[in-house]
Amino acid sequence: MERVDTSLIALRRILRATEMFGRDLAKAAGLTPAQFRVLQVVSEKGWSTPKAISQRMGVSQATMTALIDKLEKKGMVTRQRSERDRRQTDIVITEKGAGAIDEAPDALQQIFVRRFEALEDWEQAQLIASLERVAAMLDAHEIDAAPVLDWGDISGKPN
């Protein structure tokens, strides 16, 4: 039973860390971690398509539309007709969106990425296998999830 308690405590600590980061990000930039990740992806070139962002983040088009809608209402991105293909719409980061990225606290997933990449290959593989096993144990392996450390519905829709 001690190992069960230890594992549940570790899971709870992970959940609390993501919850606290989400609050810090909301306070500093007025964004959820998923919205912040969309801004990061768009800011790499200054623009992107909704389809490219959803594929990169591993979320559905519907989830991406909800995220972009919220960012557009906040004035962080705009939708513009593509100059390359008039049938497409580009998502373009605004000055306010770029400022939010600059002012935001260091993203929890960036901290994780730096530390994960510092691990040996075998440690990375072992950790991935363990995390995938935990997700399967919680029947969470089919849930729509982006590579964003966040809690709740990533689209930002209330439950």
pLDDT in tens, 69-112: 999 999 999 999 888 887 889 999 999 999 988 887 776 777 88
**Is residue 29 within 8 Å of 17, Cβ to Cβ?**
no
Sheet holding 89-93, edge to edge: 47-48, 89-93, 77-81
Give me the percent of the chain exceeding a pLDDT of 90: 37
The full set of domain ranges for the chain reads 2-137
d(CA 46, CA 94): 8
d(CA 99, CA 122): 39
Answer whether 0.85 is exceeded by the pTM. Answer: no
Residue 50 has what pLDDT?
Answer: 93
145: pLDDT strictly greater than 70? no
Mean pLDDT of 27-43: 87
Residue 113 has what pLDDT?
Answer: 82
d(CA 89, CA 111): 33
Mean pLDDT of 21-36: 82
Mean pLDDT of 47-73: 92
d(CA 45, CA 84): 14
d(CA 47, CA 84): 12
Residue 23 has what pLDDT?
Answer: 81
> Mean of the per-residue pLDDT values for the chain?
84
**Is residue 142 within 8 Å of 132, Cβ to Cβ?**
no
DSSP state of 47: E
Angle subtended at Cα 128 by Cα 17 and Cα 59, rounded to the nearest 5 degrees: 70
Residue 154 has what pLDDT?
Answer: 44
CATH architecture of 2-137: Orthogonal Bundle (1.10)
